[in-house]
Amino acid sequence: MELPIRASGDQLLVGGELVDIRRRLKSVAARHDLTIVIACAFDHRTRMLPFFYADVRMAPAGARAIGSALVDSGFEKTRIVLQQWNRSFRPSQMRLDGRLPDLFLISSMSLHTAACRAMIRDVCRIDPQHRPLVIAGGSVCLYEPWEVFYTDAPDRDHAAPHAAADVAVTGEEYVLLNLLEVLLSGRAGGEPLRQTFLRARDRGALDAIPGLVYPRTDPDGRVLELVDTGIQRLVGDLDELPFPDAGYSILEPPSRRATLASRPLPADQVRKYSRIGSLVMTFGCRFACDYCPIPAYNQHQYRGKSGRRLAEEMYRLYSRYGMQYFFGCDDNFFNDTQRALSIVEALASAEYGGLWLHRKIRWGTEVTVHDTLRMREHMWLVGRSGVRALWLGVEDMTGALVRKGQSPDKTVQAFQLLCRHNICPMPMMMHHDSQPLVSRGHARGLLNQVSLLRKAGAVSLQVLMLTPSAGSKGFERMFESGLVYRSVAGRLVEPHMYDGNYIIASNHSQPWRKQLNILAAYLFFYNPLQLLASVWNYRRKLSLKAAGMQIIGMWGLAHTIRRTLGWAVRLMLGRIIRMTDLPNSPFRMCSPDGGPASHARGADVPVPRLRTDPAPLLPRSECVRPGPNRRP
């Protein structure tokens, strides 16, 4: 169930439009004086390997990017709240600049759907006349936008009736800014922004903004159907994105309060709580793996920033907040050899006032084994640019699960190559039904592969079970084949369990063995003996880094065992009920003209409906000038 691809030539925004729309909004922002709160949903039940430590020590790129775009557009009264740091935050009690926010944005991954829905229910407790406009976004809305429109809670007596987001953004920063531009062009005086939105929605003024899903409701607020305005247009040149340092300047300080602090986190405290800076470097991957939604999301485009721009971003974050460690949110950094070389050359030669950037910063990102070997002759330059860790998609190195040019010999060569240049190899593996725990005479076994990777120099380890990934080619097939569990021993499979740590999709006759296999692989890699070996061999390259990762790994493993061992017992003793139908929207979905919806699943095509052309919300003379990508 991949996302549809826009027509050729209509996949990207006109060059410079993302910069232009921020300039247009900045010219009217002061007049509207909006207060905005951005909340990043986080389900703390996901705190386990392999994401332990980074999950709370790296401010997420999505919420931070939206915050940067809003501040750069003139909306300086903006605050980013991370549930990783503010677990007790309650939207119904938030006040910013002494008043209820005009706009409440929620960014959520599918894993954190429960936390996202809880925040929507809470904000909807506010009286509708004073409620902020609620906009949901993040990966949950990219692939399953209906998830934010039905949020009934078990304690319905205490939940707001018909609690739902007002609109879902199924795209990137430009879609949100485009929506704001349309709303502000029709906002009358100091009218509540939500009231402006409802009027714009009912008049069809949102239908020309690709990348939105909004509900049509009855007079009582019940959702009747969802209108999908289509697939977004992407920004082609990532240099048009706003600089990330503005987003870090509006972070909410960590606390146990349900309310907001009077001021954001001070600049000298940002590094303390976000040790790792997340940076957008490139988007896209040329591999077309069945389990991955990345190629279709990117419209099969490969996008990136220039090396000079990335160097300036790193320098700004280093000079302003003292950040030295960065993670590039890439899909496959080595996907385009020439682009990768241009970036590492720029970072290796960047100098600011006598300060050589590569001597102060350290960064890592994701690559593949095949592309790493293609960069063999240039790996010295990659190391010189400040790269100290690369996460490699090894999956199953024998290629039994997916083939991306990897093999045991090639994987070992790639790891040894990285170690020679003082770069930590960080393998990412996938366990599957046909893979044994141990094998003889070949490297098919999970522990055989882990042992091989450890000897080749692996510093960390990621082992996850293959699970359904919304937006991927294989998503529909996994459900229709009855592979996915609905419940085990009476416990329903919840969204946070789709992270690959839980066995929730398997045809194995003893799935509990698969659950224990993952724990065995982690125990084999992270243990006191390996820690002592790393410390004992401190003279070897990367040994001290490996020791540090062993400490974090054993700490995270304790949480992983605590959370998943009980699930293994359920798999062993309980009854497994499987899903036979594809998860889909509980509401009818359609395009603005009544045709099929881009984000819907299944073959049910709605009956077309006649609709009159929308009238402008205000006289054209009072509207914000439309951009070149606005469609009539």
C-alpha distances in Å from residue 521, one per residue of 447, 454, 467: 6, 11, 18
Average pLDDT, the chain: 90
Q: Are 360 and 422 in contact (CB under 8 A)?
A: no
Q: Which residue has the tokens 């009934």?
A: 152
| Torsion sign (Cα): 620, 623, 627, 629 | negative
Output the six-digit token pair for 355.
Answer: 């300060």
Range with the poorest average pLDDT among 224-238, 322-336, 529-543 = 529-543
Q: What is the pLDDT of residues 420-477, one digit of tens each?
A: 999 999 999 999 999 999 999 888 999 999 999 999 999 999 999 989 999 998 898 8
Q: How many angstroms separate the CA atoms of 413 and 405, rounded?
A: 13
SS3 at position 499: coil
Q: How many angstroms separate the CA atoms of 123 and 131, rounded?
A: 7
Strands 424-431 and 462-465: parallel
pLDDT range class, residue 155, cuts 50, 70, 90: very low
Output the six-digit token pair for 235.
Answer: 């920004």
With a cut of 70, say whether residue 308 has pLDDT above it.
Answer: yes
Q: Are 171 and 15 in contact (CB under 8 A)?
A: no
Output the six-digit token pair for 333.
Answer: 């950094």
With a cut of 80, say whether residue 621 has pLDDT above it.
Answer: no
Q: Are 450 and 414 in contact (CB under 8 A)?
A: no
pLDDT range class, residue 538, cuts 50, 70, 90: low
279 DSSP 8-state letter: E
SS3 at position 250: coil
Percent above pLDDT 70 for the chain: 93
Q: How many angstroms separate the CA atoms of 468 and 479, rounded?
A: 8
Range with the poorest average pLDDT among 51-55, 156-160, 272-276, 359-363 = 156-160
Q: What is the pLDDT of residues 336-361, one digit of tens each?
A: 999 999 999 999 999 999 999 999 99
Q: What is the pLDDT of residues 369-407, one digit of tens each?
A: 999 999 999 999 999 999 999 999 898 887 777 777 678
Higher pLDDT, 292 or 348: 348
How confident is the model at residue 219, as a pLDDT?
Answer: 82
Q: What is the pLDDT of residues 562-600, one digit of tens each?
A: 999 999 999 999 999 999 888 889 999 999 998 999 998
How confident is the model at residue 632, as a pLDDT?
Answer: 29
Q: How many angstroms separate the CA atoms of 166 and 135, rounded?
A: 6
With a cut of 70, say whether residue 627 has pLDDT above it.
Answer: no
Higher pLDDT, 62 or 160: 62
Side chain identity, residue 482: G
Question: Which residues are paired to 104 by β-bridges?
Answer: 37, 134
How confident is the model at residue 309, as a pLDDT?
Answer: 97
How confident is the model at residue 537, as a pLDDT?
Answer: 76
Cis peptide before 50 (omega within 30 of 0): yes
* Strands of 133-137's sheet in order across: 78-82, 36-40, 103-107, 133-137, 167-169, 212-217, 223-228, 588-590
C-alpha distances in Å from residue 184, one per residue of 22, 181, 617: 13, 5, 10
Output the six-digit token pair for 294.
Answer: 């990345």
Q: How many angstroms separate the CA atoms of 119 and 126, rounded?
A: 12
Q: How many angstroms separate the CA atoms of 17 and 174, rounded?
A: 9
Among 20-34, 392-406, 540-554, the range with the most confident prediction by mean pLDDT is 20-34
Output the six-digit token pair for 396.
Answer: 């199953």
Closest CA to 304 of 276, 346, 275: 346
427 DSSP 8-state letter: E
Q: DSSP for 35-102, please give it.
A: -EEEEE---GGG--TTSTTHHHHB--HHHHHHHHHHHHTT--SEEEEETTT-TT--GGG--BTTB--S
Cα maximum dimension of the chain:
77
Q: How many angstroms separate the CA atoms of 22 and 24, rounded?
A: 5
